[in-house]
C-alpha cells in the first residue's frame, strides 16, 4: 500500500499520517526502489491502534511507550480520566455561565455576576439613552471588573445592586440622559445643576470597597473617557468627583446609565 491507500483505509489524512512519522509516534516503513513508502497490513493495524489511542485523548507522546508495553496503561488511563473529569467540571461551569447570560439577556462578554444588573440597567435606559452610551457603560464595567480583586468585584456588584433599585435606576437614567445631551460648550450653570442633582440622587448610596482602587485603574478609566466624552462631559465628571467629599461617586468613567 502507498501512503494514500493506508491513510484512506485507516480513516486519517495523509497529513496526519506524515505528522505521526515526523514526531515518532508511528515508525516509517521501508521505501521501495522508486522512493515511495511501502505500507503493510501490519502498519495499518499499528496506525489503527495509534488512531484509537489518540481519539481517546491520550497525548501523542504517551502513545509509543503504551504500544511498546501495556505496563503504563492503567497509569495513563487514570491520568486521562482525571483530566476528563476536570474538563467536565470546567465545561459544566461554562454552561452555567451561558445559562445565566441567556436568562439575563446579556452580551456574551458580560461578567456573569453582573449580567442581570447590567442588562436590567440597559433595558431601563434603552428608550432614553443613546446606544453608544449604554455600550460605553457596559465596557467600563467590564474594564473595572477585570481590574478589581475578589473583594472589589463584590463591592462593584453591591454598588450596581443599589443603582438598579427601581427608584434609583429611574432617577439615574434621567440624569444620564441629561449628561449624554451635554453639548461641548454647555454653560457652567447647566453643568453645576447636573452635578448638584447627581449628588442629591446618589448621596445616600454607599461605596464601601472602592476606597483603595489602584491609581492604574483610575488612569485607564480616565484615558478611556478622554476619547469618548466631549469637553463639557469631562468637566462634569471632574466636578462630580471633586464634590464627592472624599468618596468616589461613581467608580467608572461615566455616570451609571
* pLDDT tens series, the chain, 257 aa: 899 999 999 999 999 999 999 999 999 888 887 778 899 999 999 999 999 989 988 888 888 888 877 666 777 788 888 989 999 999 999 999 999 889 888 888 888 888 888 887 777 766 678 888 888 888 888 888 888 888 888 888 888 888 888 888 888 888 888 999 999 999 999 999 999 998 888 877 776 666 556 778 878 888 888 888 999 999 998 888 787 544 444 434 344 44
Report the candidate in 94, 136, 149, 144 with the shortest Cα–Cα distance to residue 114.
144
Distance CA(12)–CA(60), nearest Å, equals 15
CA angle (17, 21, 27) in 5-degree steps: 115
Give the C-alpha separation, 209 to 160, whole Å.
13
pLDDT of 213 reads 64
Count of CB atoms situated within 10 Å of the CB of 36: 10
C-alpha atoms less than 13 angstroms from C-alpha of 179 in its C-beta half-sphere? 31
Determine contact, residues 123/180, Cβ cutoff 8 Å: no
Stated pTM of the model = 0.62
Find out whether 193 and 250 touch, Cβ atoms under 8 Å: no
Q: Three-state SS across the chain?
A: CCHHHHHHHHCCCHHHHHHHHHHCCCCCCCECCCCCECCCHHHHHHHHHHHHHHHHCCCHHHHHHHHHCHHHHHHHHHHHHHHHHHHHHHHHHHHHHHHHHHHHCCCCCCCHHHHHHHHHHHHHHCCCCCHHHHHHHHHHHHHHHHHCCHHHHHHHHHHHHHHCCHHHHHHHHHHHHHHHCCCCCCCHHHHHHHHHHHHHHHCCCCCCCCCCCCHHHHHHHHHHHHCCCCHHHHHHHHHHHHCCCCCCCCCCCCCCC
Q: What are phi and psi of 37, to 5 degrees?
A: -70, 145
Cα dihedral: 70, 73, 76, 82 (round 10): 180
Nearest CA among 190, 193, 185 for reference residue 231: 185
Residue 10 in grid coordinates: 485507516
Amino acid at each position: 500500500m502507498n501512503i494514500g491507500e493506508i491513510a484512506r483505509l485507516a480513516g486519517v489524512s495523509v497529513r496526519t499520517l506524515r505528522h505521526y512519522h515526523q514526531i515518532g509516534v508511528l515508525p516509517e516503513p521501508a521505501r521501495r526502489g522508486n522512493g515511495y513508502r511501502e505500507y503493510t497490513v501490519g502498519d495499518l493495524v499499528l496506525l489503527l491502534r495509534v488512531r484509537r489511542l489518540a481519539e481517546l485523548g491520550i497525548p501523542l507522546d504517551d502513545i509509543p511507550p503504551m504500544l511498546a508495553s501495556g505496563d503504563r496503561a492503567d497509569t495513563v488511563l487514570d491520568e486521562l480520566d482525571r483530566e476528563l473529569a476536570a474538563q467536565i467540571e470546567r465545561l459544566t461551569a461554562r454552561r452555567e455561565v451561558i445559562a445565566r447570560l441567556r436568562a439575563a439577556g446579556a452580551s456574551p462578554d458580560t461578567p456573569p455576576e453582573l449580567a442581570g444588573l447590567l442588562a436590567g440597567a440597559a433595558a431601563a435606559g434603552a428608550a432614553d439613552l443613546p446606544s453608544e452610551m449604554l455600550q460605553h457603560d457596559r465596557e467600563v464595567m467590564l474594564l473595572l471588573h477585570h481590574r478589581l480583586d475578589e473583594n472589589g468585584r463584590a463591592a462593584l456588584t453591591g454598588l450596581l445592586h443599589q443603582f438598579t433599585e427601581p427608584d434609583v435606576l429611574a432617577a439615574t437614567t434621567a440624569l444620564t440622559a441629561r449628561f449624554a445631551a451635554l453639548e461641548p460648550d454647555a454653560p457652567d450653570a447647566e453643568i453645576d445643576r447636573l452635578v448638584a442633582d447627581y449628588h442629591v440622587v446618589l448621596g445616600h448610596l454607599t461605596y464601601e470597597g472602592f476606597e483603595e482602587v489602584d491609581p492604574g485603574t483610575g488612569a485607564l478609566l480616565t484615558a478611556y473617557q478622554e476619547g469618548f466624552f466631549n469637553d463639557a462631559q469631562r468637566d462634569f465628571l471632574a466636578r462630580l468627583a471633586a464634590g464627592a467629599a472624599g468618596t468616589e461617586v461613581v467608580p467608572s468613567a461615566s455616570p451609571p446609565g
